[in-house]
Amino acid sequence: MPDFFADSVFLRPPRTRSGQPTLSRDQIVKAAIELLDAEGPTGLSMRKLGTRLGAGATSMYWHVANKDELLELAVDEVMGEAYIPEAGDTSWRIGLSVWANGMHAMLLRHPWVTGLLGTRPTLGPNAMRMGERAVTLLTGAGFEGLEVSHVMSLINAHALGSAATQNAVALATRQAGVPVSELAARMEPYLDKLAPDHPNYDRWRRENSGSTLDPVKIWDEGFAFGLDRILDGLSLWLEARQKA
């Protein structure tokens, strides 16, 4: 059985030698991300990737042993799109907000990442840089021990959960071939039938029916609202702990 950590591609340094194939690992990973964005993990294969790059298997297998290694490299590459400010550049609250928004935006650009996080160790340079900056930011703010890990998990979970829901709806609308506003409109007759059994929900739905016209705005506002409440809670908890 493969070892979850020992088999990480990042524990094996890139191979180098004279006469190395001209195709670089960066080129391979970039092409893999393009395929993943277009078709998801099931659409990625070494054969498709070779065709896209116009390269033979030998050139690719020089850098990556299999699809799992390729996915691990691709995940770390897109993790580099999320930014955490360096300690001292801003407050911990703004720093976490920048990080959360960057993670959320990255996950919306690359929906395939949501199903891969946690399946392989995140030991790549971008993930480790993110972890280093997050730890520095949070310990500087006064969080201690495993509190740091819990805060990091909380921020990641909010970004991941919000993006996963939005990506799922986006996929459903693409498959249906209609915008999400039309899908919502199709549900109205069904919800009208249920109204007598759910009066409070029905009243709330009717009072806010105009909000369904711009679902992307609702998702963005919902993510921002949730993030602000998380940060409010952390601020109050940290303040209370420091006063105790």
HEC readout, 15-44: CCCCCCCCCCHHHHHHHHHHHHHHHCHHHC
Task: List Cβ neighbours of 89 (8 Å cut-off, separation of 6 or more).
Answer: 95
Q: What is the DSSP letter of 82?
A: S
Question: For residue 61, what is the domain's CATH number?
Answer: 1.10.10.60
Same domain, 92 and 155: yes
Tens of pLDDT along the chain (244 residues)?
455 555 778 777 666 655 555 688 899 999 999 999 999 999 998 888 888 888 776 677 778 888 889 999 999 999 999 999 988 899 999 999 999 999 999 999 999 999 999 888 889 999 999 999 999 999 999 999 999 999 999 999 999 999 999 999 888 888 888 887 788 788 889 999 999 999 999 999 888 876 556 778 889 999 999 999 999 999 999 999 888 7
Gap between the Cα atoms of 71 and 74, Å rounded? 5
Instruction: Give the C-alpha separation, 39 to 31, whole Å.
Output: 12
Query: Domain boundary residue among 28, 61, 77?
Result: 77
Distances (CA, A) of 164 to 47, 103, 116, 133: 29, 12, 12, 25
The answer to whether residues 87 and 141 belong to one domain is yes
Domain range for residue 236?
80-177+214-243
Query: Are residues 230 and 121 located together in one domain of the fold?
Result: yes
Strand partners for 120: 117
pTM of the model: 0.88
- Do residues 119 and 225 both lie within one domain? yes
- Same domain membership, residue 167 and residue 227: yes
